[in-house]
Structure 1
């Protein structure tokens, strides 16, 4: 075991910067670049010796994102409204959701998107179905 510790000590100076929490956005960006480089090297080989390093580095980046760049919970209707504006789509131009009156009720908050509608919108816009789900009312978002 001592040999393992000796090897870790010898190489720790090179690994520590990758595995420590970034102190700012520049350090975060440097770790993202390192992760991209690792992933390019590893490819699809999950048994690659550096695969666990890439996984840990991904965990560090995710923790930084959660702390410094939280994603707010957004209602599916708000996402739909944004996409309609972004793509210049009228209420009648969403057959995935239904008739104009159904779209209107969803945008007004009188109805929620159902699973069929969510799947259709997800496919149309190339987004995860989670994008259109209603936020968790028990989750608090720092503001």
Structure 2
């Protein structure tokens, strides 16, 4: 096993940007370019020697996207929680929705957003109201 790690250490400098989890948008975009190149090279050939690398890079990109982007079919409350996390907001920062109790009920799924709240959230986060419907 030590021999394998020594081999990896010798080439890690050249591979680390391709085989590491992206933590910034810049790293993510670079990895997407690598994936595009791998797709061009590998195509649909599952036996291609770079096919496992294509799968690994795809998984790294998917992990970043799951953590950093709103999923298209996400529930309105999940979108709201995501936006709160991205903007480092707390329940107190959502007074536009109502009292602390109302905000808590919304975030816990006990109360649905009404039209006024949806419009207020869309304005606050500068996104389409449809994200909360």
Structure 1, unaligned runs of 5 or more: 75-134
8 Å contact from structure 2 (residues 39, 54) kept in 1: yes
RMSD: 2.3
SS in 1 for 2:31: helix
Cα distance between partner residues in 2 of 1:51 and 1:39: 9
CA–CA distance in structure 2, aligned partners of residues 3 and 50 of structure 1:
23
In structure 1, the residue matched to 2:36 is 36
Moved beyond 2 Å, runs of 4+: 1-7, 139-143
Structure having the higher helix fraction is 2
> Cα–Cα, structure 1 residues 55 and 67, in superposed 2: closer, same or farther, change >3 Å?
same
With structure 1 as the length reference, what TM-score do the two structures score? Answer: 0.48
Larger relative contact order, structure 1 or 2 (CA cutoff 8 Å, min sep 6): 1
Q: Could you give the per-residue CA deviations for residues 56-109 of structure 1, whole angstroms, max 9, x where no partner exists?
A: 1111100110111021536xxxxxxxxxxxxxxxxxxxxxxxxxxxxxxxxxxx
Which segment drifts farther, 5-14 or 31-40?
5-14
Name the structure 1 match of 2:53: 53
The alignment's TM-score, normalised by the length of structure 2, stands at 0.51
- Give distance in 1, aligned partners of 2:4 and 2:44: 28
- Residue number in structure 2 paired with 1:25: 25
Number of equivalences? 81
